[in-house]
Structure 1
């Protein structure tokens, strides 16, 4: 049963319904052409029908709406509300500053979103500008965009294929890694039987965007533009949208929570203020004060700066982050789907093992290395040629042997059907034939073998069986095995068959693309962090599984692309949730996309690595797409949110560590900000509940001075907190777990907030009591107790500042003690506390600021009363964390 190469749905009726893998004569009939190509007139007519050979560009983005979305999400709306309240309260400069923060953050997010939409545009760079085709019976070089179905391409070494085509004449070696993910070039021949199970593996088809690395051929175009394989991937990339990251969703929830609390408290204060004897206008002003007290104006810039710091830190590790929230997403990753070639491995073939002619470890590899150096067409100096040949030349160079082209007398190039190549060289006055190739092709042409002593022994049936067993054993360890043989001849043989007969088997060479040395430790870190690692590659399953095991990935099961295609969704979900690690081999673009979708549906946070064009849809679909910066295509880099500058799996793990640290720090400064809501709101509630008998312990301007003055720098410093011990030894958090947790609220409001509120009110009442105040006494301007009242509100303000210091130190750790991270390890926090104290002192003791903020100088005994407050607040939380660690 033939398979139809319909790689994309037809647009209108311009795509001919053809089977590109049917016999050439039938394909020529279906495309209404012949092996001499089209006429120029017919090509022009078809161009009008089928359209240009170009990938469709997406419609122009409605950028005003995209920008508007960045300015009206909940957190931005919350800040707009804060700006409006600040404007209403008469603090115009504050309102302008908040608006500036909202607009700047919106512009940054908008630019990042637009950059992420360039993946489809980058695909077009894989199409050549011009291509050689047969027109009117002769070779013409035409713009690649004018190629149409029915054209006959003239392809040679170094050409990039401009359209999907079927070979009708010749042989090509094609680098199709950008589509298949397989590192080794593949051979395509016009006159072979097509028994492949997938179009991408067909031995007679070449695809748009791939590169011819050797050979020459004529190929019949059957698909152009959006109907090509690369066009189908472009369609997949265009359809796959980007979802919110876990942090973006959680920040949205936090914003709604804060907004809800602020509005409820503000509205709820109106009747309380009126019942307390205030006029409606005065009650409304105090309600605004409560709203301002509950709106953390610095939350969004603090989160942005924390993420930006994470981006800078990851850049130093070798990971360039294109979207700020991707830093946190990496930290919440539960599954990494990694490519093999270039990510787990070095992307450089290497001679792993050498055996002598009898399959045993050789005593001397000089003769074999010399034959390898001669039997090659690669150039080690310029690193040009087939990667396997370069690895063999490097091995020979390691034995002090270099290739001398002057000694070559004849060359029998590598023949894909014979799977071997040979050279005839003049060595020491004698002519030698050197042959290398697949063992099943070379060994049968050998009549003798070189043993460990260097002597030739006849190849008996038993020895041949031993050699075959050794080849099978080496191949089972994912080695690519080549046989090397030679023969001395009196003169240059008259034919290839004469040259490649009566050979002496010199030995077997096993090559492998070795794992990066640092990957094993990185995989171990993943496992200790509760992260599962799957390998998703276009390469051979046996090879990929062996490399996975070498670096510590379980490889409990190998699932090929064909097996995956037959696997229903429940079976795939079961395989992914069974607890083991899987190697997905021969993965097609749809396979990677399907795996990412299945993992996400199973509740996993997925990081998907890739470097080829075929990876683009999955990179966009995964929670975090990670592209290779050195060996990756531009398409993959545009589709991904993180680009590795060193193509190293270990860098991904460093990113996970940094992402976890950043998320922890977001929680720390949210905890720090939340803890101050109680001591800011409690004085207002006490004033209202007392019916005005107790004067207001804090003013609106003093609250603003706390929220945007004393609180900001310590909060920013908490965003740069170093990682807690054991960061990579805990399980990833659940996707549903928010920034704000019940434990956090308990610490913020029930422990630090409540204790701070009690201490603040204690300082307020202590100052009033020392002046002889009693409930209901007049403290208005002109009254005898007015100065004492100013000192009392100033004491409340100062007490909150001192409690903030204790809160800042307590917020530095989630569970471990402060001693575990060190008192002075966060220098920025220490600097922020110094600024906080200096700022508060200026408000309290400088006369111009006293009149603006309603403060008065405090006596020494009041300051002494507040000195233990930081220790009390920190100590209460430290005791709570100690108790939870014990239980």
Structure 2
């Protein structure tokens, strides 16, 4: 590494003149040799690879087998319909993943910085991707560092390295240092600067020693490529359902052959019937419906400033019960703000400055004149602390541009980390004022007077005590304190050692990065929803705890721990200890991963937020990794499942709420489809078991599963969100999808099956004139009679299922309480389903394909009366459920 080498040797190794820089020809040659200066992500999947990835699902395997068998047995219509479903499901998944990746690429383009380099003896601005090893990079405040550098000169240079190290306080850099140790932590390499970190103060130059994947950030990006995505709870449950349905289909087929042998039926005919039952067992539209519902949820989240990169991640959000959040920029505004000031022997809030008072006016002027930052509506550059001072003055209509013109800076003593002071000499008419700011302890040591109530008075011990008491009180509130002093001189030509002496104290200010206004309400919502909010930050423990208390995350110091304290706790002990901890301060990337794993070890579903490269391992380790879209590095975004385009904690909570509602809607759709399929199995199985003619043909079942069932299932997936969903505890990700709903599903499935058989029986009696089950014997019921009875069964099966969809809106509330018209999509789906059924039996071509016939008015009255039974039965059951709940 280059931190242990003299700058002359580094420049020689890279064959570059620091005054002229590289020539254009040399840059082209090195660009060809080393490649562009950008992080290479994992090779993007082709559309074909994405398509086949969508087919990797047990339910899809079963559908493919069903399509193949249907094709081989001559049931071409069924094979075509199933194939369409498989393709539709895959296309939806591919479209969503592609859309998310395009959104990510747009974010990454926004974050590509420009850089100043010295080439051909001139300083030019170039796109950072065109930087090559050996380039001389010019650094100034507010500019991102485009690659890894060995500094060759520096002047009061400070670099904010939180993206790489997690350290939120800017690091002082010194190009003259030569560090002889062999293994030094990145945060302590003070003669180096690293890609994606930010210059906050001063200026400097460095020689590029690493670009692209050869940078420190690139090395972390390589580590992340080995991670394998885990399945979400819903994916696991759908996989289990797929296996269960597959086993059920096989069992049904075996049973059918057993019955065929016992009843001495035609084996080929029974094989086709077995296929019918297998088709009935599998909800063909389920994969497509889940994909569509998730896609709709993703689009809703975009409106709430969240980009979801993979569809199933939406559902996982609904299970989250621990949210680990970074402090800076997520819980807070990421904007240092002056909240209090001390002047005229009293502490006031920052909105109480009296600019007519000479002391308070001079305090504001000092903040502006002794300041190297810039701040206006268009842009802000420089140290965040100095920007905060300018912003306070701006609130009172005082601008840096205006004041600097009025009081020209004629001399300065730049900030120094040893003195912890900065001074400027500004012209005030025919005199000059020395303006000094810095650590209040140091200010007091070089002052002998104080400006108070318009008068200059001696700085007595009592006065010093008052100032320090005010400073300590601000520090106790986790405020960063700065002191201000001045002195009048006749000329600006003063020796540096004479500037900072015999000063007059004006006052001091306290500042902090304040919480976002909306976050406190979001955290309260989390508590009601059974979600624990955890703060993880690189900041000091006292600062973190103060913000945590204000937001309601923590109550006292016992709920906080520092990185140093974490090092003394074993992984096993941490699993138990994290149950009582809410604030983790001064932590490293390794600590973050340990914290996430400890919470997961307790059975929690964990969401983790982050923006830096150092956050990427913990984003991967969490169940849901959430990256910041504005301040986040490309590596963090690439590791995350979701990206926040507004970097706001409240967006996570909105996403969790949306995730809960989406899961509830998917569950409604699944319960609806499976209860309908149980109805189909009951109708077919009992008819065959009892030796009756088949009440339904395979194409009838496919039509119902794919068309009349799919539309309501999809509409249930778009059900309006439950306004009380965030008052419930998070569901256990391990609990069954059918918990509390199994009896509901079986009851309605059996009911629909029996109603279908009732319609089949009524149709058979009408045609044969025989009363009793003898009318259903295959030798009796055939030809046009069988067609009519099957038509009656077909219509009751489909319409009763359409009506049953209304029962899924709520398990306890009456459909009239929920509101018939609150889901207009569902009403439209029911109307469309009934219309399509009518078309199928009335249009001659379709009636021939489906082997059905038209019904007369009397038949329609019968099927309508039977089809409405599921709604009436469930409304009665709900009355008893509500009475039981009240009791």
TM category (shorter chain) comes to 0.7 to 0.9
- Matched residue, 1:525: 525
Q: Summarize the Cα distance change of 1:163–1:398 in structure 2 as closer, same or farther, 3 Å threshold.
A: closer
Q: Residues 290 and 666 of structure 2 are in contact (CA less than 8 Å); yes or no, is this contact kept in structure 1?
A: yes
Indicate which of 559, 571, 574 corresponds to 1:572.
Answer: 574
SS in 1 for 2:229: coil
Q: Summarize the Cα distance change of 1:324–1:36 in structure 2 as closer, same or farther, 3 Å threshold.
A: closer
Q: Does 1:831 align with 2:828?
A: yes
Over residues 433-464 of structure 1, what are the superposed CA-to-partner deviations in whole Å (9 max), with x where a residue is unaligned? 2211121222222212233x333332112221
- Matched residue, 1:610: 610
Over residues 721-762 of structure 1, what are the superposed CA-to-partner deviations in whole Å (9 max), with x where a residue is unaligned? 1123421111111221243x243222111x211222233323
- Matched residue, 2:659: 659
Q: CA deviation at 1:323?
A: 1.0
Q: CA deviation at 1:714?
A: 0.5
Name whichever of 63-72 and 547-556 sits farther off: 63-72
**Normalised TM-score (structure 1):** 0.86
Q: Does 1:98 align with 2:96?
A: no
Q: Residues 485 and 507 of structure 1 are in contact (CA less than 8 Å); yes or no, is this contact kept in structure 2?
A: yes
- Matched residue, 2:13: 38
- Matched residue, 2:751: 755
Q: Residues 36 and 152 of structure 1 are in contact (CA less than 8 Å); yes or no, is this contact kept in structure 2?
A: no
Q: CA deviation at 1:672?
A: 0.4
Q: Does 1:372 align with 2:356?
A: no
Q: CA deviation at 1:306?
A: 0.4
Name whichever of 213-222 and 612-621 sits farther off: 213-222
Q: Summarize the Cα distance change of 1:111–1:182 in structure 2 as closer, same or farther, 3 Å threshold.
A: farther
Q: CA deviation at 1:246?
A: 1.6
Indicate which of 709, 715, 718 corresponds to 2:716.
Answer: 718
1:63-462 alignment runs, 5 A limit:
68-88=52-72, 90-106=74-90, 109=93, 147=133, 158=143, 160=145, 162-163=147-148, 165=150, 171-190=156-175, 199-201=186-188, 203-217=190-204, 228-356=215-343, 358-361=345-348, 364=357, 365-381=360-376, 382-403=379-400, 404-406=403-405, 407-412=407-412, 413-451=414-452, 453-462=453-462
- Matched residue, 1:776: 774
SS in 2 for 1:743: coil
Q: Quick one: distance in 2 between partners of 1:651 and 1:752?
A: 39
- Matched residue, 1:728: 726
Q: Residues 434 and 485 of structure 1 are in contact (CA less than 8 Å); yes or no, is this contact kept in structure 2?
A: yes
Q: Residues 164 and 222 of structure 1 are in contact (CA less than 8 Å); yes or no, is this contact kept in structure 2?
A: yes
Indicate which of 812, 818, 835 corresponds to 1:821.
Answer: 818
SS in 2 for 1:664: helix
Q: CA deviation at 1:469?
A: 2.4
Q: CA deviation at 1:325?
A: 0.9
Q: CA deviation at 1:104?
A: 4.8
- Matched residue, 1:803: 800
Q: Residues 725 and 820 of structure 1 are in contact (CA less than 8 Å); yes or no, is this contact kept in structure 2?
A: no
Q: Summarize the Cα distance change of 1:798–1:52 in structure 2 as closer, same or farther, 3 Å threshold.
A: closer
Q: Does 1:854 align with 2:844?
A: no
Q: CA deviation at 1:401?
A: 2.3
Q: Quick one: distance in 1 between partners of 2:14 and 2:842?
A: 92
Q: CA deviation at 1:419?
A: 1.9
Q: Residues 168 and 220 of structure 1 are in contact (CA less than 8 Å); yes or no, is this contact kept in structure 2?
A: no
- Matched residue, 1:869: 869
Indicate which of 834, 837, 842 corresponds to 2:839.
Answer: 842
Q: Summarize the Cα distance change of 1:198–1:143 in structure 2 as closer, same or farther, 3 Å threshold.
A: closer
Over residues 401-458 of structure 1, what are the superposed CA-to-partner deviations in whole Å (9 max), with x where a residue is unaligned? 233223224232322332222222233554222211121222222212233x333332
Over residues 127-178 of structure 1, what are the superposed CA-to-partner deviations in whole Å (9 max), with x where a residue is unaligned? 988966999xxx9x99987648xx9988666472632647787542113232
Q: CA deviation at 1:34?
A: 3.9
Q: CA deviation at 1:193?
A: 11
Q: Quick one: distance in 2 between partners of 1:678 and 1:156?
A: 70
1:682-693 alignment runs, 5 A limit:
682-690=682-690, 692=691
Q: Summarize the Cα distance change of 1:165–1:565 in structure 2 as closer, same or farther, 3 Å threshold.
A: farther
Q: CA deviation at 1:218?
A: 6.5
Q: Residues 133 and 154 of structure 1 are in contact (CA less than 8 Å); yes or no, is this contact kept in structure 2?
A: no
Q: Quick one: distance in 2 between partners of 1:124 and 1:548?
A: 32
- Matched residue, 1:6: none
Q: Quick one: distance in 2 between partners of 1:517 and 1:107?
A: 42
Q: Summarize the Cα distance change of 1:269–1:280 in structure 2 as closer, same or farther, 3 Å threshold.
A: same
Q: CA deviation at 1:573?
A: 1.2
Q: Quick one: distance in 2 between partners of 1:847 and 1:876?
A: 40
Name whichever of 636-645 and 103-112 sits farther off: 103-112
- Matched residue, 2:546: 546
Q: Residues 346 and 515 of structure 1 are in contact (CA less than 8 Å); yes or no, is this contact kept in structure 2?
A: yes
Q: Summarize the Cα distance change of 1:280–1:39 in structure 2 as closer, same or farther, 3 Å threshold.
A: closer
Q: Quick one: distance in 1 between partners of 2:42 and 2:706?
A: 43
1:15-30 alignment runs, 5 A limit:
20=3, 27=5
Q: CA deviation at 1:834?
A: 0.6
- Matched residue, 2:695: 697
Q: Quick one: distance in 1 between partners of 2:753 and 2:10?
A: 89
- Matched residue, 1:13: none
Q: Summarize the Cα distance change of 1:418–1:347 in structure 2 as closer, same or farther, 3 Å threshold.
A: same
Name whichever of 168-177 and 341-350 sits farther off: 168-177
**Normalised TM-score (structure 2):** 0.86
Name whichever of 544-553 and 290-299 sits farther off: 544-553
Q: How many residues align?
A: 845
Gaps of 5+ in 2: none
Over residues 191-217 of structure 1, what are the superposed CA-to-partner deviations in whole Å (9 max), with x where a residue is unaligned? 689999954155454334424344345
Q: Quick one: distance in 2 between partners of 1:369 and 1:145?
A: 42
Q: Residues 175 and 212 of structure 1 are in contact (CA less than 8 Å); yes or no, is this contact kept in structure 2?
A: yes
Over residues 276-316 of structure 1, what are the superposed CA-to-partner deviations in whole Å (9 max), with x where a residue is unaligned? 34200111111011111111111011001100110111111
Q: Summarize the Cα distance change of 1:876–1:83 in structure 2 as closer, same or farther, 3 Å threshold.
A: farther
Q: Summarize the Cα distance change of 1:700–1:152 in structure 2 as closer, same or farther, 3 Å threshold.
A: closer
Q: Summarize the Cα distance change of 1:660–1:334 in structure 2 as closer, same or farther, 3 Å threshold.
A: same
Name whichever of 210-219 and 402-411 sits farther off: 210-219
SS in 1 for 2:734: coil
Q: Residues 328 and 663 of structure 1 are in contact (CA less than 8 Å); yes or no, is this contact kept in structure 2?
A: yes
Q: Residues 448 and 458 of structure 2 are in contact (CA less than 8 Å); yes or no, is this contact kept in structure 1?
A: yes
SS in 2 for 1:646: coil
Q: Summarize the Cα distance change of 1:189–1:103 in structure 2 as closer, same or farther, 3 Å threshold.
A: same
Q: Quick one: distance in 1 between partners of 2:42 and 2:625?
A: 24
Q: Residues 132 and 155 of structure 1 are in contact (CA less than 8 Å); yes or no, is this contact kept in structure 2?
A: no
SS in 2 for 1:173: strand
Q: Residues 484 and 506 of structure 2 are in contact (CA less than 8 Å); yes or no, is this contact kept in structure 1?
A: yes
Pairwise CA RMSD:
3.8
- Matched residue, 1:477: 477
Q: Quick one: distance in 2 between partners of 1:165 and 1:558?
A: 37
Q: Summarize the Cα distance change of 1:97–1:842 in structure 2 as closer, same or farther, 3 Å threshold.
A: closer
Q: Quick one: distance in 1 between partners of 2:551 and 2:770?
A: 76
SS in 1 for 2:608: strand
Q: Residues 67 and 110 of structure 1 are in contact (CA less than 8 Å); yes or no, is this contact kept in structure 2?
A: yes
SS in 2 for 1:632: coil
Q: CA deviation at 1:560?
A: 2.5
Q: Quick one: distance in 2 between partners of 1:585 and 1:280?
A: 72
Q: Summarize the Cα distance change of 1:732–1:432 in structure 2 as closer, same or farther, 3 Å threshold.
A: same
Q: Residues 354 and 507 of structure 1 are in contact (CA less than 8 Å); yes or no, is this contact kept in structure 2?
A: yes
